[in-house]
Structure 1
């Protein structure tokens, strides 16, 4: 959940690892697994202003919100590209940044995820 908030906010994703198998609660390429001392999720505030991260747990669900300065805001969307390779699903996750007229300014590959097929 916090990974998607960081992804959509435009924060620099420094380290992300997908789960071994596709998750049922989030789309492929949009998940992040952590395991203490082994794998981690790392992102960085690359903006000119501070950010505020708020996680809310209520009614069996968690919501993550990242607040920042409007001057740092960029329009963007997330695009995934899926392919299959023998016993794996390969998903590339891209972040696409848009201009004022919703034209594509730039695109970045955020992660390449490999999932085992059950």
Structure 2
């Protein structure tokens, strides 16, 4: 089980790191030019590719998660960590209460983001099933 946890942590760290780097481009350069919605939507395909590639990396690096249940557990752990990190950043960095942060999300890009989060959770399982 510890390898499953390590895989989930690694998967989370890879995707969070890429998202952080993309945010450093999106916020100062794209948001002022095209707005929050379009900047977030422009980032989504890149994050989808990062998720796909990161899931492949953890499946190769941690062969112990080569079962459907373990790959899904790793993805769900990574999802829980991602949601916790997102909410912590909103409250600490932006100083927003949880409900205010959720209410401030754009309806369109926020909905797409939720779908991408679900894909993030199941991608290790999907990549494993595709083998």
Q: Scaled by the length of structure 2, what TM-score is found?
A: 0.24
**Higher strand content, 1 or 2:** 1
| Length-normalised TM-score, structure 1 | 0.25
Structure having the larger proportion of residues in helix: 2
